[in-house]
Amino acid sequence: MAIPERTELLPFCPEVEAWSLQRGPSDPSAPYSGFNACHYVGDSPEHVDFCRRALAEHLGIDTAHIVIPTQTHSNRVVTIADEPQPLDGVDALVTDRKGTALCINTADCVPVVLADPEASVIGIAHSGWRGTISDIAGATVRAMEALGASPRRIKAAMGPSICAQCYNVGADVARQFTERYGADSGVVEYNDRTPHINLGRAVAINLIRAGLDPLAIQLPAICSYHSAGAWPSARRIGTASVRTLTLIMLR
């Protein structure tokens, strides 16, 4: 199996491989058709393993060097080093090891890749609304700092995720975002009195608060809900379905 088409992230960092994979050829009536390397969404272990082996072959690494956590919308970050780490309840990863692919799975939430090429330190985070409120992106930056990265050197990019136009929420969720980011931040928008959240903008604010240069942050360019044929959207096709894999690796 060849891996599907991808959207490049951090193309200005030649030392880093970073991208999000499309779903690829799939049957709209079969929620697990296409590429899926996510092991906890109800897909068959055989299909997940097949996709991971195809990914490893494409990268030229062993499947053991593909690191995929079981995400739970937490703000927990794990540093991947020589000793194995439990990856249940983990939503962000950092490392300074070359040839180790850090991966996050999403289906509307924001995948965030981060790199300090000078320090050879990378990170990746899954930032849904809960992770955004609890600042998973900022926690990832701080974990990278512990490995020698500098926030002023870190470049960040966000992969395909739901846009503000499509992401309507309840009043309680909107209130939490207003309290954290302020009414004038542009994070909470209203359409016919219904609140909508601009997750990408909120994540960018978290990264800026963590010390990143605003010019070093790339916002999402693709809406997963609008493009649900190519990119999985839990809001459109349900949670029992494939996920978008986003990856970052030091070459």
Q: For residues 250 and 15, is the Cβ–Cβ distance under 8 A?
A: yes
- Distance between CA atoms of residues 155 and 141, nearest Å: 10
Tell if the pTM clears 0.75, that is, is over it.
yes
Cα–Cα distances (Å) from 176 to 182, 201, 203, in that order, read 10, 15, 14
| Residue of 140, 147, 138, 162 whose CA lies nearest to 211 | 138
Average predicted confidence (pLDDT) for the chain:
94
- Distance between CA atoms of residues 251 and 234, nearest Å: 32
Q: State the total domains in the chain.
A: 1
CATH number of the domain enclosing 240: 3.60.140.10
pLDDT score of 131 more than 90: yes
* pLDDT tens-digit series, residues 96-121: 999 999 999 999 999 999 999 999 99
Instruction: Please indicate, yes or no, if residue 229 is contained in any of the structural domains.
Output: yes
Token readout for 64 is 């053991």
pLDDT score of 86 more than 70: yes
Token readout for 103 is 């991966």
Instruction: Please indicate, yes or no, if residue 182 is contained in any of the structural domains.
Output: no
Q: For residues 244 and 11, is the Cβ–Cβ distance under 8 A?
A: no
62 residue type, one letter: D
For residue 53, give its domain range.
6-163+222-250
* pLDDT tens-digit series, residues 203-240: 999 999 999 999 999 999 999 999 867 899 999 888 99
105 residue type, one letter: N
Q: What is the pLDDT of residue 2?
A: 79
